[in-house]
Structure formats: C-alpha cells, structure tokens
C-alpha cells in the first residue's frame, strides 16, 4: 500500500504502486511561488531517483527536466526541495 499526504497549501501529492516493477512513485506538484522542502518515503525502499520538471509559471511552454539520485536513509525516506512552479516525480525501488 502506498499513500501520499501534503501539509503545504500549494503542494499536491499523488502516489502509485507498480508491483510488477518493484517500485512505488510519488508525484509532487508545487503550484506556489516559493519552494517547499519536505520528506518523501516508503518503508523498505533501497534506492530512489527523482525527476524534476521546472518552469517559470503556467505560460512556460519549455520547462526543464533534471534527473537525480536521491539519498535514502533508513530504507525509508529522502529529503527533497520542490521548487516553485514545478513537478517532482520520485521513484522508490524495493527489493
């Protein structure tokens, strides 16, 4: 089971589990004009990768994409910052 919760007004979180690929994903959408820092996690995770899609706002038709490996502590979570006006997809791998 995977769930997503958000405690910031402009941050929206969605979660999905893909058992056939041994991974779970969390999509974070920051609709605000300021960055939001938080923690994403999944018990049993052994690694996490992130893809960040950033732009200057709703009228930006050429956003940038950045991929990165995230540090997973205690097989559960990673601290991230979701920039203003951006989407952040985190994939957690499980054994």
DSSP string covering the chain? -------STTEEEEEEEEGGGTEEEEEEEE-SSS-EEEEEE-TT--EEEEEEEE-SSTT-SS-EEEEEEEP-BTTTEEEEEE-TTEEEEEEEE--
In a domain, 3, yes or no: no
In a domain, 4, yes or no: no
CA distance 6 to 28: 9
In a domain, 6, yes or no: no
Q: Which domain holds residue 64?
A: 11-93
In a domain, 2, yes or no: no
CA distance 65 to 15: 20
Mean pLDDT calculated for residue range 42-48? 82
For residue 94, give the nearest of 37, 9, 25 by alpha carbon: 25
In a domain, 63, yes or no: yes
Residue 5 pLDDT class (50, 70, 90 cuts): low
Q: Per mean pLDDT, which range of 20-29, 32-41, 54-63 is the poorest? A: 54-63
- The model's pTM is 0.80
The total domain count for the chain is: 1
In a domain, 45, yes or no: yes
Residue 15 pLDDT class (50, 70, 90 cuts): confident
Q: What is the largest CA-CA distance in the chain?
A: 41
In a domain, 68, yes or no: yes
In a domain, 38, yes or no: yes
CATH number at residue 33: 2.60.40.1180
Q: Is 16 or 78 the better-scoring residue by pLDDT?
A: 16
pLDDT greater than 70 at residue 36:
yes
| Tokens coding 35 | 């960055």
Mean pLDDT calculated for residue range 34-52? 85
């Amino acid at each position: 089971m995977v769930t997503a919760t958000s405690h910031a007004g402009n941050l929206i979180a969605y979660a999905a589990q893909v058992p056939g690929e041994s991974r779970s994903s969390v999509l974070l959408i920051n609709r605000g004009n300021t960055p939001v820092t938080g923690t994403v996690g999944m018990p049993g995770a052994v690694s996490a990768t992130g893809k960040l899609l950033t732009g200057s706002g709703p009228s930006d038709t050429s956003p940038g994409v950045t991929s990165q490996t995230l540090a997973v502590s205690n097989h559960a979570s990673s601290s991230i910052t979701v920039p203003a006006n951006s989407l952040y997809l985190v994939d957690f791998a499980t054994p």
